[in-house]
Every structure is written in structure tokens, then in C-alpha cells.
Amino acid sequence: MGKETGSLQRRGFWRNAQSLWQGMALTFRHMLQARRRRAPLDIADPNYFAHQTGLVTLKYPYETLPVPENGRYRLHNEIDDCIVCDLCAKICPVDCITIESVKATEDIGETSDGTKKRLFAPMFDIDLAKCCYCGLCTTVCPTDCLTMTKVYDFPEVDIKNMIYHFTDLSPEQAEEKKRLWADQQEAVAKAKAEALKAGQQKKP
Ligand code: SF4
Ligand code: SF4
């Protein structure tokens, strides 16, 4: 009985010693590997997965991982190509796009893909503090002027600065466009009323 207990104790001792040795060897191996660092490689780089050991953390923001060109981060609206159709605002699941439109009274040209422009946008705001970066707005945009960019680092101290304004009209220009549209509507209504009156007078 005593002999058997002694044998069990010896086996337990060697098992524990072996396990301790394996743990220490693993720790020591990691300590040695930590002398090397993984280079900040683009995911498209053929060596991206080649470096399997060493430190993987970067000294951000002094070092950054290259972001792919098709990264889906901060939105941008190329307002010259926007036809102010409102589709992006309608599909946005969090209502973070606010658009105000006013009809043009003159020819305002075309977008770069040849789509006729008929509206101005006195307001085209995107609240990127609310945006969930789903990308739906970019998929419905008929002129592809609304895109997601690779800019992912744009913190602000004041949350109001997360609202991005894309209108190309100054407040004065916006007021002017609204006034021109209202004047034109008034003139059209007046002409219609006069034509109606003239038509009624002609009747026997
Ligand atoms: S990416 Fe999604 S949440 Fe952000 S503005 Fe576009 S539709 Fe809205
Ligand atoms: S969907 Fe495109 S064209 Fe239409 S309002 Fe939005 S950004 Fe402009």
C-alpha cells in the first residue's frame, strides 16, 4: 500500500514538472518572438499572412495599417454630380441624411454622367455620428456621386462637427434660388389666372 502511494506521488510529481516545463518553454518562446514586430502591410500584400509570429500591435496613430482603396468608411458626396433626388435620404435606416431642395429656374447643366440637373440643394447634411456605415445610400444613388471613402479616422471633440455639409450654396445663394423659384411660380400662377379670365370673357 505504502509502495503504491509512493509510486503515485512520484508520477504526479513528474507530470506536474513536465507541465510546468512546457508552460515555461511556451512563455519563453513568446518572449523571444516579441523581439520582432509584424510590419503594417496592406491586406492585398502577398506577404500579409506570411508573418505569423511576433507583436501584431501598432503604435497608432504613428503607425497605421494601410486601408484598402474600397474601404467603406466616411461618406463623401460629389455635389456637382448630385441631382438631389432624395433617394439616399429615403433609404437611410437611421435618417442621418437631411436634404433640402429647390427647383432651378434656369438651366444648371448636367452631371458628369450626362444626367440633367434640375434642383439645387440648399442643404445636404450627413450626420456621421448617427451613420451605421451600411452603404445603402451609395447603392441607390443614380449618379454614383455618393461614395464611401477609406477615411476612417475622423474623431471630433464636439459631436456637432460630425455633421458634414455638402451643399455648394452659401445661405445667401440658397435664399436667392428660393426667391427666384417663388417669383417664377407666382408669375406662372398669374399668367394662368389671366389666361382663364381672358378665356371666360371670350365666351358668348
Ligand atoms: S451608410 Fe447607411 S446609415 Fe450611413 S448615411 Fe448611408 S444609408 Fe444612412
Ligand atoms: S441619391 Fe445620389 S443623386 Fe440622389 S440625392 Fe442622394 S447623393 Fe444626390
Residue nearest to atom 7 of ligand 1 (CA): 92
Mean pLDDT, residues 184-201: 90
Q: What is the pLDDT of residues 37-75, one digit of tens each?
A: 878 888 888 888 887 777 778 888 888 888 888 899 999
Ligand nearest to the CA of 88: 2
- What's the pLDDT tens digit per position in 136-164? 999 999 999 999 999 999 999 999 999 99
Domain boundaries, the chain: 75-187
Question: What is the per-residue pLDDT across 126-143, written as a single tens digit (0 to 9) for each?
Answer: 999 999 999 999 999 999
Per-residue confidence at 204, pLDDT binned at 50, 70, 90?
Answer: low
Measured CA to CA, the distance from residue 75 to residue 156 in angstroms comes to 16
Identify which of 114, 105, 97, 72 has the alpha carbon closest to the alpha carbon of residue 164: 97
Residues 65, 58: contact at Cβ < 8 Å? yes
Does residue 121 carry a pLDDT above 70? yes
**For ligand 2, mutation pick of 92, 145, 147 (most atoms within 8 Å of CB):** 145
Whether 1 has a pLDDT exceeding 60, the answer reads no
**CATH assignment of 75-187, among 3.40.50.180, 3.30.70.3270, 3.40.50.1820, 3.20.20.70:** 3.30.70.3270
Q: What is the mean pLDDT of the chain?
A: 92
